[in-house]
Each structure stands twice: as structure tokens, then as C-alpha cells.
Amino acid sequence: MKLAYWMYAGPAHIGTLRIASSFKNVHAIMHAPLGDDYFNVMRSMLERERNFTPVTASVVDRHVLARGSQEKVVDNITRKDKEETPDLIILTPTCTSSILQEDLQNFVERAQLDAKGDVLLADVNHYRVNELQAADRTLQQVVQFYIEKARKKGELSENKTEKPSVNIIGISTLGFHNQHDCTELKRLMADLGIEVNAVIPEGASVHELKNLPRAWFNLCPYRELGLAAAKYLEEQFGMPYVDITPMGVVETARCIRKIEQVINAQGANVDYEEFINNQTLYVSQAAWFSRSIDCQNLTGKKAVVFGDSTHAAAITKILSREMGIHVVWAGTYCKYDADWFREQVSEYCDEVIVTEDHGAIGDAIARVEPSAIFGTQMERHVGKRLDIPCGVIAAPIHIQNFPIGYKPFMGYEGTNQIADLVYNSFTLGMEDHLLEIFGGHDTKEVITKGISAESDLNWTKDGLAELNKIPGFVRGKVKRNTEKFARERGIANISAEVLYAAKEAVGA
Amino acid sequence: MTVAESQALTFDCETGNYHTFCPISCVAWLYQKIEDSFFLVIGTKTCGYFLQNAMGVMIFAEPRYAMAELEEGDISAKLNDYDELKRLCMQIKRDRNPSVIVWIGTCTTEIIKMDLEGLAPKLEAEIGIPIVVARANGLDYAFTQGEDTVLAAMAARCPDQAPVAQTEKDERNGLSKLLNFGKKKEEIVKEESEYIDHPPLVLFGSLPDPVVTQLTLELKKQGIKVSGWLPAKRFTELPVIEEGYYVCGVNPFLSRTATTLMRRRKCKLIGAPFPIGPDGTRAWVEKICSVFNITPQGLDEREAKIWENLEDYVKLIRGKSVFFMGDNLLEISLARFLVRCGMTINEIGIPYMDKRYQAAELAMLEQACKDMGVPVPSIVEKPDNYNQIQRINQMKPDLVITGMAHANPLEARGINTKWSVEFTFAQIHGFSNARDILELVTRPLRRNNNLKDLGWDKLVKEAHV
């Protein structure tokens, strides 16, 4: 058992449902108790979805507990098959159903006898994988299912398209800015003269999957979702894949060069250097931004980064390599992919943190006092409490992270968006400090900045008065250092004298 | 299915395929209500994910609840439940020092048959903090019924004897102390005489403190004294419940609590309609008065005055129709109030219908339909959301009260919706909060008045569901 208040990645079935609801005309049936269909609320609210989320539950109640599901799951599958005639129904196990250990595969096979559409059991273990791993696995499973089906029927089209083409793999429902990224990637491919053969799973029909092998290569923009499917296609058809996330100017160029190499190896003859050069210098504003005096002011400023592997790694590289910002630590909650993350960011930050514990991240932020945080919604709230600005760069996210306006993180427009996000985070912080330095309108009492514990120390009136004279942006640090100093020496009341003694001792 | 034309209520039961919140959501409001409590939800990532997302920003406020997240070792009994729970509860005691730890049993603890009720007394003795067990799981219950399971468990913890010494009694009786706060002793004695001599009355149901005060004062006007309230602001202030006390519920979803109070604590249940809407509040007060042989004073004028103040809102919904998809058990009371406002009811979906506990409310709904000359609606227990959407498409109600899973898709199809969960969190009880209910109900209609000339009703391409 683990005491937990907050989690970064959701349970496995959420991943499966994200894949199911991304495809067109695919329905998911959860084998779950009442109330586990909260996914529908999230999709309806966060994505402001106009259509009913194609997810229903085959409810596990007392009767199921006593006698087993018996006909219930099969009936629910065949009923849904009749009502909505989906192409595919994915039976989705949940944490509850995985301990009931019913033979769900058997239900699927029985339902398949009556159902017109296909029926599949999502192969995910609730206690071993999280949302992201489950999504990756389910996408691979669906792709494999339809490739094998087409192969059996002799409908598999392996002829490559005439012009270079790509499958974009991993765009999904409830993904962080996925819709905008997808549009930007399509635009980028068009600029490069590459046809988009398919985008999966978002908006795709399962019938298109048999055409996947027609593409010259696969592009997996996200580390977390799509790689398993890409690897499967590579293994089956020798299709190469590009897994460099085109986020940031340097990485976008690296991704494009890799694409060039991959398609030239298959007989194309393209040279993208001029395109990259033109985009970098004149189209994207990000390269110019890093030369401008605005960005000069950011040099050496301290930042911390936390998120999923894809975004945390990319943002770390952008901050450090493209903007000269000092990334004190970079971290991810994708523990299962820790080695990759370390390898990606080690040279761009002082320290790498891999944890799923938001408390540890909160403390790590409080410890280093960065000028800005780039993290998830949780880090945004830590930032609020510590008065440190935060740019949200990864899920878990709230409704404000599903903007209606065009906000990709990828490609050349993405570099502009990220530059804005970074710059706005820092300037807002600076403005705040300037107000405080010059007196501004700040009359509030100093607040405790500790994350974990209330201070057990007492500040005397003159100590507090002295502390309040210290400019806001270092006040927290001074306070903490003074308290540390007092604690070590067993001083219970912190007066102005103690404050200054501490300053002398530790240079606070 | 069409609206029943008969004069008696009809009851249907469908498949139970409907959307609602998991009953563990009750921790969100109960931890705020019971200030010295800590709620430990013993479940999986699924439970945690639900709470985290459903409670939104509250999660960032260092809430007094947490998950005891079960891992594979717990499921396969490789780890010892008792030791694991002890470790976590010790940690909670150290970090938060609560007066009570409430264990919320979930689907998983049910399936693996973790004996929470058995473990709790042992651990309680060992760590010295009361541990209350409530099995608020999705196998058995829906949404607000979670509170019911917690309060039923709390009912067993209420002291069963009023302490003898008067001073001590004052300590214990949090509510009267609260109301008498700052007053001198003579004044208290004087105030006591304002009450009519009647057997002790304890109310049950968790309400925000301002609403508790409003309802308590409402009864005080009739000379009725509220001896205590389950739950109180603090666990240490749970009311005394002796055999023969009278109890009355304030919410329609508290049938287990009512049963526990009657059977285990030997209380007498006053079966009244619930104080939702001015009509409900009046009937609630009247019923309590009648049990104590009191002739209620001034209720006619009070109710009339409230209706008068509601007229601008009532005007907007009079003659309009409403469809309850059903998810929080407030549906019967709300429907009854809306009938009084002049609405017609297409259907009342409800997760679970306790006809005994809600008897007075059901009778009042029937009467309201008769008085207002509208057809008596059919009540659909354990509804099937898919079928309901078909019926909504046929009936074209002016307003659908529904969960968030369906609200946006219905709006996109030109059907007005009101998100039902808001009724659970808004203050809707008593005379003075009737306006708040209508504020919620009329919001989509008022919004539409603003947008009506734009021609943006239907915003989906295909006409199909």
C-alpha cells in the first residue's frame, strides 16, 4: 500500500479508452463498477466534445460479484453492436475486473459470433502498466489486429505510394495539445513534399489500417504513445520510423534531417537543408528571439522542468541549448522510461529526477528556488504557493490546457509558441519582483514558503520587520536559511539579530 | 415510453447503465464538513484518478484525504493488510493528527474481501484514534449514497448518554454552544424557555454550516430545539443519541442512516418531505411540528413571501418541460419543487428509490402534480442512459438535468442542459435558498435568451444521436 494524494499518469484503462475514443466508429465497453466511466466526463469537459463519448460500461455490481458476469458482458457487446454498428468494440478491463479474473477473452469470442463488427479484448494489466503504457500497447494491438485480418483476407496493400509518404502515429484524445501538433505536423509534411498516408489513432477509421504499409516511413512524435505500433510495423514490413520529437528549433531540424535520410534511402532524392535554414532564420521567430536582447536577459536564469518524457526532455533542451537558461534539474514521471530520459537530458541540466511522487517534486522546487517552473498542473500549483511563475508543458492538465486557439508545441510554429510561453513566464516573474523592490503596492505579510511542514519557529516582531524589508524574490530563501540556521543552533525565537547572524553564517 | 397519464406515480426499472459519480466522491464534501477528520480511501489508481479529476482544484489545497493505493502485493495478499494500514495510519497520525480516520472501502476491498470492519477496532486500540469504516463503493452505491454509508457508520459513534453534569453537556453539545456563543448563562436559560418542551430532536445529513444555521433557526421559530446534528462540525462533537430520540433527515439519499438510527439507536424517524424549495421546507417544518403537537406559526406568509420573490425566475420556466436523467437521488424533491413552479416533468430518472424513506416526498410529488394539473411522471430507477437519450430525442424537453458526460453532446444537439452535480454542491435547502435552485435551473434558459437570435442551436453535422 502506498499513501498517495496525486498521480501524474492515470490508470491503464484510461490509456485504452483514449485510443478507442480517438478512432472513428470504435466503441469501448468497460468491465467496471458504476462510476468508473469518469473518462466520459473528462473527454466531454476537457475536449469540449460535441459527440457522445463512445464508451459504455458493462456494470459490475453485487450480482456479478456473486455469480460472475455470465451473459451480461456478451449481451452488452452485442447490444452495442446493434445500436451503433461500430467497426470495432474494445472490451476494456479495469482494476476491478482484473482481480475478478473472469475469462474476458472467452466473452469476446462468444460476442464475436453474433456481432457484425470486430470485438477485441484490450491486453493490459492494471497493476503493471499505467495510462501511457496501456495506450501504447492498445494502439499496437489494434494495428496488429487489422494488419493480420487484412493479410488473411489478402487485402493488405504493401505497395508503397508513388511519392514519399508518412504515417503519423500517436495523436490521441486527451493528449497535450495533440490536435494542434497534428495540424502543424501535417503542414510540415506538406512543406517537405511528403504525403500523409494516415494519422492514427485520432480521427482514423480502422479500415484504413490495412493501408499503413503503403507509407515510406512512420513518424512517432511522442515518446509515450505510438512507438510500439511503429516497432511492430518495422518488424513486419521493414518500415523505418523516425522518433525524434520535432519540438524546438534544433530538434525540428534533426527530425527533418532524419526524415531526409530515411526517404533518400528508399530512392527519393531530397535535400531539406535550405528549407531548414530558411525556416530557422526567417520563418520561425525562435532563433531570432534567442539572439534578441530580451532573451539575453534570461541568460543563466534558473529553471526546473518536469513532465512526461517527451515534453520534459524537449523543453529542457530548448531552455538550455536554445535560450541559455540554467536548468537546475529536469525530471519525468515516466519511470519505466527513465534510461532514455537520462540519456536525453543529462548534458542539459545539473540533475535528473525520476519520480512519481509530487511531494518530492514540490520539495525539489522549494529547494532550488528557480525563477520559473515548466511542469504539469501540479507544478503550477506549487509555483502559486511559492510565488514562482509556471508554464504548463505536459499532462496532467486542466481545461485551460485545451485552448481553442492554435497552439502547437511541435514544428516551427511550435517553436514560436514555446518561446512565448517561456518568455511570458519569466517576464511576469520579473515584473512581480520589480514591483516589490520598488515598494509597489505590496503591503502583505510574509508568507511561509515551506511545502511540507509548518514552521515550528517563532519570529519576533523586529525579526519579522527586518525580514519584510528584504526584497520579495529572495525573501523566501532568506527566511528558510535563517530558520535552518536557528534550528541547527536550537534558537526558538528569531529576532533581527538572529537573522543577520544567519546571513553572515550562510551568506543568505 | 410516453408520459404516464394516470394519476398515480409509475415506477420503472431499467438496466442500470447510467453515468454517475462514484460514491467515494463524498469525501470531498465530508472532509470539509467534519473539520478534524481524515478520509483514507482504500482503493486503486482508478479511485485516485477519479477523485483527483472530479475534485479539480480542491486537490491542491492539501486536502485531509488520501488514497491508500493498493498494489499487486496487496491484491495477492503477499503483504499483510493490517501492517500496511497501520503503517499508513501512523503516518497520517504523525502528519495531521486527526480526531478520526474514516476508511472508505472500495470495489477492490470488497472483491478481495479485506475485513476493514474487523481490522478497524484492533488498529483503533493500537493507535488511539477512532477509525470509522464506510463501504462506499461503486458495486453497491451511487454518488451521494456515499455520504449515507459514512453517516450510517458515524451514527454508531454518537454518544448514547447525555453526560450528567450541565457544564459537560454544554461542552458536548456543539451546536447549541455555537448558537449560544458569547452569551451569558442567564441568557441561555432564558433562551431555553423560548423552546416548547418536546422530546429531543436530532437532524441528519451533511449541509454547509450556513444552511445548518438557517434550518435550525427555522425550527426555533416554531419553538423546536435541535439537540444535535449528524454530522457535526467536528467528530468530537457528534450529538448524543439516546433511545427514544426523534430524528429527521434533510436529504433524500440518507436511507441507510435513517435505518441505522431507527434499528440500532432506537430512534423515532419523522418521515417528512425534504426541505428543498419553499414548499418542501414548509412541509418539512409542518411535519416536525405535527409530530410534536405544535401548531406551526406564520408558515403561510413565509412561504408566500418566498414564492413572491421567486416570481421573476418562475416566469421563465412556467409551462416548460424537464427531464431528469438521474444520478444523485435529489431528483424526486427537485421534480416536486419544479412542478410547483409550473413545469411539467418528462421523466424522473433516479439511481435508487427507497419508497419508505421517501414516502412523504413521493406523496407530495403526486399531490403537486394533481394541484398543478400536470401529468404524473414516471419514475425510472436504475435508468439506461442510452434509452433515455432516445426518449429525449422524442420528447424534446425544454431542459435536461444530467451529468457532465452528456451535457455538452446534448447542448451541441440543441437541447438545454443543466449539470446535475451542481445541485449537490450548491446550497439548496430551506426557504432562503430556493432562489439558488432556480438560479441553477434557469441559467441555461437565461443564457439562451441572450443567444437566441444567432441561429447557433445545432452544432453537429450529422443528425443522428
pLDDT at B185: 53
Quickly state the pLDDT bin for A436 (edges 50, 70, 90).
Answer: low
pLDDT at B465: 42
What gap in Å lies between CA B106 and CA B99, rounded to an integer? 22
What gap in Å lies between CA A243 and CA A226, rounded to an integer? 9
pLDDT at A258: 98
- A168 near A221, Cβ under 8 Å? yes
What gap in Å lies between CA A171 and CA B100, rounded to an integer? 46
pLDDT at A294: 77
Cα A343-A348-A354 angle, rounded to 5 deg = 55
Q: Residues near A471 by Cβ (< 8 Å), separated by ≥ 6?
A: A433, A436, A437
Is B56 in Cβ contact with A398 (below 8 Å)? yes
Q: Is B115 helix (H, G, I), strand (E, B) or coil?
A: coil
With contacts defined as CB-CB under 8 Å, which chain B residues touch A62?
A: 139-140
With contacts defined as CB-CB under 8 Å, which chain B residues touch A44?
A: 404-409
pLDDT at B447: 87
pLDDT at A508: 43
Rg for chain A, CA atoms, rounded = 26
With contacts defined as CB-CB under 8 Å, which chain A residues touch B50?
A: 35-36, 38
Query: Is position A181 annotated as part of the catalytic site?
Result: no
**Best residue in A95, A100, A384, A402 to probe B by mutation, most B CBs within 10 Å?**
A95
**Bigger pLDDT: A206 vs B4:** A206
Quickly state the pLDDT bin for B60 (edges 50, 70, 90).
Answer: low
Beta-ladder partners of B408? none
- A375 near A304, Cβ under 8 Å? yes
Is B49 in Cβ contact with A2 (below 8 Å)? no
Is A5 in Cβ contact with B49 (below 8 Å)? no
What gap in Å lies between CA B293 and CA B300, rounded to an integer? 18
* For range B406-421, the mean pLDDT: 93
Lowest model confidence (mean pLDDT) among A52-56, A363-367, A437-441, B334-338: A437-441
Is the Cα dihedral B96, B100, B102, B103 positive or negative?
positive
Per-residue pLDDT for B183 more than 60? Answer: no
Q: CA of A451: which chain B residue's CA is closest?
A: B62
pLDDT at B2: 44
Lowest model confidence (mean pLDDT) among A182-196, A225-239, A285-299, B185-199: B185-199
Q: Please give the order of strands across the beta sheet that includes A195-201.
A: A195-201, A165-171, A217-219, A241-242
Quickly state the pLDDT bin for A4 (edges 50, 70, 90).
Answer: confident
Lowest model confidence (mean pLDDT) among A51-65, B129-143, B160-174, B445-459: B160-174
Per-residue pLDDT for A504 more than 60? Answer: yes
* β strands within A390-484, DSSP E: 390-392, 458-459
Q: Is B142 helix (H, G, I), strand (E, B) or coil?
A: coil
Per-residue pLDDT for B170 more than 60? Answer: no
Choose the closest CB to B67 out of A4, A36, A44: A4
**Best residue in B20, B45, B52 to probe A by mutation, most A CBs within 10 Å?**
B45
pLDDT at B3: 45
What gap in Å lies between CA B275 and CA B215, rounded to an integer? 9
Q: Is A142 helix (H, G, I), strand (E, B) or coil?
A: helix
**B170, B183, B282, B432 from B220: Cα distances, Å:** 18, 17, 14, 16
Per-residue pLDDT for A273 more than 90? Answer: yes
Is B108 in Cβ contact with A52 (below 8 Å)? no
Which one from A61, A103, A114, A294 is the annotated catalytic residue?
A294
With contacts defined as CB-CB under 8 Å, which chain A residues touch B46?
A: 11, 13, 36, 94-96, 126
pLDDT at A18: 97
pLDDT at B164: 64
Q: CA of B45: which chain A residue's CA is closest?
A: A11
**Bigger pLDDT: A248 vs B192:** A248
Is B406 in Cβ contact with A52 (below 8 Å)? yes
Q: Is B204 helix (H, G, I), strand (E, B) or coil?
A: strand
Shortest alpha-carbon distance between residue B301 and chain A (Å): 43
With contacts defined as CB-CB under 8 Å, which chain B residues touch A54?
A: none
* For range B210-224, the mean pLDDT: 92
With contacts defined as CB-CB under 8 Å, which chain A residues touch B388?
A: none
Per-residue pLDDT for A175 more than 90? Answer: yes
Q: Is A440 helix (H, G, I), strand (E, B) or coil?
A: coil
pLDDT digits 0-9 by tens, B414-431: 999 999 999 998 899 999
Per-residue pLDDT for A1 more than 60? Answer: yes
Per-residue pLDDT for B271 more than 70? Answer: yes
Task: Decide if A404 touches B, using CB distance below 8 A.
Answer: no
With contacts defined as CB-CB under 8 Å, which chain B residues touch A6?
A: 52, 59
Quickly state the pLDDT bin for B169 (edges 50, 70, 90).
Answer: very low
Per-residue pLDDT for A440 more than 90? Answer: no
Q: How many CB pairs under 8 A join A and B?
A: 158
Is B22 in Cβ contact with A34 (below 8 Å)? yes
Beta-ladder partners of B133? B103
Count the helix, strand and coil residues of chain B and give each as a percent rounded to the nearest 5.
50, 15, 35
pLDDT at B191: 61
Lowest model confidence (mean pLDDT) among A128-142, B47-61, B178-192, B407-421: B178-192
Task: Decide if A477 touches B, using CB distance below 8 A.
Answer: no
Quickly state the pLDDT bin for A118 (edges 50, 70, 90).
Answer: very high
Enclosing H/E stretch for B401: strand B399-402
Q: What value does the mean pLDDT of chain A take?
A: 90
- Number of H helices and E strands in chain A, helices first, is 22, 16
Interface predicted TM-score (ipTM) over 0.85:
yes
With contacts defined as CB-CB under 8 Å, which chain B residues touch A57?
A: 17
Choose the closest CB to A95 out of B42, B108, B403: B108
Share of chain A above pLDDT 90, in %: 69
With contacts defined as CB-CB under 8 Å, which chain B residues touch A85?
A: none
What gap in Å lies between CA B112 and CA A99, rounded to an integer? 8
Per-residue pLDDT for B179 more than 70? Answer: no
Per-residue pLDDT for B168 more than 70? Answer: no
pLDDT digits 0-9 by tens, B385-394: 999 999 999 9
pLDDT digits 0-9 by tens, A124-153: 988 889 999 999 999 999 999 999 999 999
Shortest alpha-carbon distance between residue B35 and chain A (Å): 18
> Would you call A92 exposed, middle or buried from its count of C-beta atoms within 10 A (0-12, 13-18, 19+)?
buried
**Best residue in B15, B18, B19 to probe A by mutation, most A CBs within 10 Å?**
B19
Choose the closest CB to A41 out of B110, B386, B404: B404
What gap in Å lies between CA A81 and CA B236, rounded to an integer? 55
What gap in Å lies between CA B358 and CA A249, rounded to an integer? 65
Residue A82: CB atoms within 10 Å: 11
> Would you call A302 exposed, middle or buried from its count of C-beta atoms within 10 A (0-12, 13-18, 19+)?
middle
Task: Please state the φ and ψ torsions of residue B378, each to the nearest 5 degrees.
Answer: -90, 145
What gap in Å lies between CA A258 and CA A192, rounded to an integer? 13
N- to C-terminal Cα separation, chain A? 41
Per-residue pLDDT for A196 more than 70? Answer: yes
Per-residue pLDDT for A418 more than 90? Answer: yes
Q: Residues near B232 by Cβ (< 8 Å), separated by ≥ 6?
A: B34, B174, B175, B238, B239
Is A36 in Cβ contact with B108 (below 8 Å)? no
pLDDT digits 0-9 by tens, B5-43: 556 889 999 999 999 999 999 998 999 899 999 999 999
Q: CA of B71: which chain A residue's CA is closest?
A: A1
Shortest alpha-carbon distance between residue B265 and chain A (Å): 28
Choose the closest CB to B111 out of A7, A34, A100: A100
Choose the closest CB to B45 out of A34, A38, A95: A95
Task: Please state the φ and ψ torsions of residue B440, each to the nearest 5 degrees.
Answer: -70, -50
Helices (H), B173-208: 174-179, 185-192
> Would you call B183 exposed, middle or buried from its count of C-beta atoms within 10 A (0-12, 13-18, 19+)?
exposed
Lowest model confidence (mean pLDDT) among A93-97, A303-307, B450-454, B460-464: B460-464
pLDDT at B404: 87
Q: Among residues 212-271 of chain A, which lie with CB inside 8 Å of chain B?
A: none
* For range B328-354, the mean pLDDT: 96
Q: Residues near A435 by Cβ (< 8 Å), separated by ≥ 6?
A: A441, A442
